[in-house]
Structure 1
Amino acid sequence: MAVPSFPFTQQTSEQPTRAESTTHQSNSTIHLAFRTAHEGHKPHAGLDPTRASTGVVWTSERAYEHGYLDSPETWSNLGQGAPEAEDSIPGSFPRPTSLPLPVSSREYGPTAGIKPLRAAVANLYNAHHRAGKESQYTWENVCIVPGGRAGLIRIAAVLGQAYLGFFVPDYTAYSEMLSLFRNFGTIPVPLEREDNYSIHSSLIASEIARGTSVILTSNPRNPTGRVTTNPELAKIQDICRERATLIMDEFYGGYNYTTDCDGTVISAADNICDVEKDDVLIVDGLTKRFRLPGWRVAWIVGPKAWIKALGSCGSYLDGGTNVPFQEAAVAMLDPPLVRNEMRALQRHFRDKRDYVIKRLRDMGFEIEERFVPNSTFYLWLDLRCLPEKINDGLNFFQACLEEKVIVVPGIFFDLNPSKRRDLFDSPCHHFVRLSYGPRMEILEKGLDGIERVLKR
């Protein structure tokens, strides 16, 4: 529904001056709360509470203070990065509702995962991304891990002395992961609006030229909802070959709307020349594209030397993945079944994306076509067209809480693992990430709440 009476200002790429921002923030309760939570104040000896909270957790805690836990069914959570988990997507296969628990499943499982699942993952990548290529993955090229974050932490644990480049904005949990280890130095690389907040080959070449030897990125990108496809993705991998380790977080690869929802999954595996020599680690799992976040089954695909090290470090980091859930996952990875599943997934979430974009545009948000998500289930929503009281991520988030809607302030995606930068200088400050992962009725309720915020 259009709200013509809402007094939008002209959208501009100009940021407020530091003095103007500071004055505004000094009168904002939510800004003060954010600063307090990130000062490192330690009322308990030995405890640093700032290391225990990601952006999504912080926003959830603020929602709890507004009564979210008392009646979550009355809220619209557009903040958490979780897709709808019900068996209601047309064409999607039904998920198991019970699992066998043989005596053998009570034993410790291998920290690199059970061989049947590792083989099934390798077969899936060979069928969808390595067809006709001489170099093929085997079960020894796959490590099963208890969730994507656990996988990334394992990777960080075995990295050597290196400069690791990461991009902003990107996945909030990278910040905590990158701050846990001291065996590498982290280098933030800001993405530009002019480049649609996307990575590109010339940017990668510049980073390698200044000594970066490990590159971490999500593709498709969280939070911007954009994906780098071939031939640009292949150029990036060509530049990195024999020069840098490329860590590709591909958890949203199934949510690809660039190929007319034909089931194609975007993956760096398409462009690898030799699965043993190309230093590319691919992280994915059941969490997003199979809509099973509660199972905590994910994988890392890469050269055998990496996989051996990643399996070993699991013995002291996380102990490995739940065996019964690994066994249940094997049958889900049959390549034809997965292709059909991805086709159903893409059509369903593209329709939800289109609904969200239309509703927001009808409210008066100016969403340029180049920033419409072509992947994931996220929208990187620019707030600079709003009145000053709600044109930054934190105050907009606070206003949404009053209407029982949860979004994530963009400032959390400006990764700052070494805490060297003042995040209130961030170009992410005037954005929020909005998820269209939930069911349609939740999206409708959430957008109704945002519309009430604007009318108010």
Structure 2
Amino acid sequence: MAFNNRKFSMNRSSGVPRESTSTKITRRFSTNEMSNNENDSKIHRQFRNAHEGHKSHAGLDPTRASTGVIWCTERAYEHGFLEEPEKWANLGQGAPEVDDDIEGSFDRPTTVDVTMTGREYGPTAGIKSLRAAVANLYNAHHREGKESKYSWENVCIVPGGRAGLIRIAAVLNNAYLGFFIPDYTAYNEMLSLFKNFAAIPSPLAESDNYHIHPNKIAEEIARGTSVILTSNPRNPTGKVVKNPQLAEIQDICRDRATLVMDEFYGGYNYTSDCDGTTISSAENIEDVDEDDVLIIDGLTKRFRLPGWRIAWIVGPKEFIKAIGSCGSYLDGGANVPFQEAAVPMLEPNKVRAEMKALQTHFRDKRDYVVTRLTEMGFHIKSIPDSTFYLWLDLEGLPEAISDGLNFFQACLEERVIVVPGIFFDLNPSKRRDLFDSPCHHFVRFSYGPKMDTLKMGLDGIQRVVNK
């Protein structure tokens, strides 16, 4: 077969032939030139566009490249956010303020010692001292007086929350996995990545403030769901499922389904008058090695250290052993020096005082944001009782900015970033048209940043509304 008669190469994005730049290098696997019938044929263009091997960067699926929050940040870059971030109010990214300005909060480390151990590869399940410190924290705050206690073997340290969720997904068996919408945007990519389970969405009712009732869990299990994933406190609605309903949900799941609880916002709890109490399903577990409850949390949110990428999974030893092992081929494990530096932060009394300071500070910011937005004319149906998010309804606004995407675009013009609600209507297999989404007329507003940033952002939103 000859390869030297080819005069054209193919632009795989458009399907249009282009002149070859070389007479020596050819790519056509036939002896004849491509005919006009091939070049101009609609069916040939459809074939090339439908088959990945005929497109530019054939091995790339760009739809997996980012979460909704990152997509929003990239659009902000197009408007100058990258060049002058200090002039922007980023109310989109789910990050708490990291400064040492919160009254009653302990100072964050400014240096980290690197021991000889820290120079070595660490265990993919995490160093034993940190695993033990996490177990002790949960026992002190949530297992007081209970016979069954967590040990270091019930804890796996992971390099961030997403890595933890991916590890959990990697060890799940062939199952239906139920999740509730709206929920955390990164679930979308994770749930579409693995083929060892089928992700089944379960919409929650807007009229009920997207609350998860025990009967909703019972319905999921009745239709064959054997793994349930949810954030609690809830991202993006800012609501929490607490006892006795949380205990009832766990009773329904016991011996029937594995419950994966994303508790990253457990410290941002305003339901107990900011006394430092955290919300956790660890409270209701009967036997730490028998109840199939996997809890994921870390330093990212409630310890205000997102850059450290230190998180943990707490659960039955058998689960934890598998989750620890799969880190050897997924992520390699968490940074050892930062693990060592985290151990003294987790002393239970220190954490309780930290949570009290955190809750008081962020509740004050919540009240400021709600007051300002209400004065602008926003109808806030439900005040968040946890997290640092506001699920902001846009339906009462003028039509031009009454949906999440258009409001987001208008905010960019005023150097403000929010996240359109459709990104929280998880759609892993892209089976639904998101423009029909019940979340389309919402945005998620984060009051995680410092007060100066919140004021700047709210001033920008005021200008959007005034226009």
TM norm structure 1: 0.90
Which residue pairs with 2:443 in the alignment? 432
Which residue pairs with 2:463 in the alignment? 452
TM alignment of 1:84-163, pairs within 5 A: 84-163=97-176
How many angstroms apart in 1 are the aligned matches of 2:430 and 2:172? Answer: 21
How many angstroms apart in 1 are the aligned matches of 2:223 and 2:326? Answer: 30
Three-state SS of the structure 1 residue aligned to 2:225 is coil
Q: Deviations over 1:182-221 (max 9, x none)?
A: 0000100001022210111000000100000000000000
Three-state SS of the structure 2 residue aligned to 1:213 is strand
Which residue pairs with 2:338 in the alignment? 325
Q: Deviations over 1:212-263 (max 9, x none)?
A: 0000000000000000010000000000000000000000000000000000
Q: Deviations over 1:103-129 (max 9, x none)?
A: 221110000000000000000000000
- 1:409 deviates by 0.3
Please state if 1:258 is matched with 2:255.
Answer: no
Three-state SS of the structure 1 residue aligned to 2:162 is helix
In 2, are the aligned partners of 1:42 and 1:49 still within 8 Å (CA)?
no
In 2, are the aligned partners of 1:393 and 1:411 still within 8 Å (CA)?
yes
TM alignment of 1:137-286, pairs within 5 A: 137-286=150-299
- 1:42 deviates by 5.6
TM alignment of 1:60-99, pairs within 5 A: 60-99=73-112
Equivalent in 362, 368, 390 of residue 349 of structure 1: 362
How many angstroms apart in 2 are the aligned matches of 1:381 and 1:321? Answer: 35
Which residue pairs with 2:326 in the alignment? 313
TM alignment of 1:299-448, pairs within 5 A: 299-368=312-381, 371-448=382-459
Q: Deviations over 1:35-75 (max 9, x none)?
A: xxxxx996321111110110010000000000001100000
How many angstroms apart in 1 are the aligned matches of 2:403 and 2:200? Answer: 26
Q: Which runs of 4+ in 1 moved over 4 A?
A: none
Task: Indicate how the Cα distance of structure 1 residues 239 and 318 shifts in structure 2: closer, same or farther if over 3 A, else same.
Answer: same
The one-letter amino acid paired with 1:421 is R
Structure 1 unaligned segments of length 5 or more: list them.
1-39
How many angstroms apart in 2 are the aligned matches of 1:102 and 1:301? Answer: 26
- 1:358 deviates by 0.0
How many angstroms apart in 2 are the aligned matches of 1:421 and 1:367? Answer: 28
- 1:96 deviates by 0.6
- 1:279 deviates by 0.3
How many angstroms apart in 2 are the aligned matches of 1:49 and 1:64? Answer: 18
Three-state SS of the structure 1 residue aligned to 2:462 is helix
In 2, are the aligned partners of 1:214 and 1:244 still within 8 Å (CA)?
yes
How many angstroms apart in 1 are the aligned matches of 2:63 and 2:168? Answer: 23
Task: Indicate how the Cα distance of structure 1 residues 42 and 407 shifts in structure 2: closer, same or farther if over 3 A, else same.
Answer: farther
How many angstroms apart in 2 are the aligned matches of 1:135 and 1:104? Answer: 32
How many angstroms apart in 1 are the aligned matches of 2:208 and 2:264? Answer: 22
Equivalent in 300, 305, 308 of residue 295 of structure 1: 308
How many angstroms apart in 1 are the aligned matches of 2:384 and 2:400? Answer: 27
In 2, are the aligned partners of 1:76 and 1:405 still within 8 Å (CA)?
yes
Three-state SS of the structure 1 residue aligned to 2:156 is strand
Alpha-carbon RMSD: 0.9
How many angstroms apart in 2 are the aligned matches of 1:425 and 1:455? Answer: 28
Q: Deviations over 1:321-360 (max 9, x none)?
A: 0000000000000000000000000000000000000000
Larger gyration radius, structure 1 or structure 2: 2
Q: Deviations over 1:284-304 (max 9, x none)?
A: 000000000000000000000
How many angstroms apart in 2 are the aligned matches of 1:421 and 1:43? Answer: 26
The one-letter amino acid paired with 2:298 is G
How many angstroms apart in 1 are the aligned matches of 2:166 and 2:175? Answer: 16
How many angstroms apart in 2 are the aligned matches of 1:453 and 1:59? Answer: 18
In 2, are the aligned partners of 1:126 and 1:136 still within 8 Å (CA)?
yes
How many angstroms apart in 2 are the aligned matches of 1:99 and 1:341? Answer: 20
State the structure with bigger RCO (CA 8 A, min sep 6), 1 or 2.
Answer: 1
The one-letter amino acid paired with 1:446 is G
How many angstroms apart in 2 are the aligned matches of 1:244 and 1:116? Answer: 31
How many angstroms apart in 2 are the aligned matches of 1:104 and 1:394? Answer: 49
Q: Deviations over 1:251-287 (max 9, x none)?
A: 0000000000000000000000000110000000000
Structure 2 unaligned segments of length 5 or more: list them.
1-51
How many angstroms apart in 1 are the aligned matches of 2:173 and 2:208? Answer: 31
Three-state SS of the structure 2 residue aligned to 1:316 is helix
Three-state SS of the structure 2 residue aligned to 1:205 is helix
How many angstroms apart in 2 are the aligned matches of 1:104 and 1:436? Answer: 39
Task: Indicate how the Cα distance of structure 1 residues 42 and 278 shifts in structure 2: closer, same or farther if over 3 A, else same.
Answer: farther
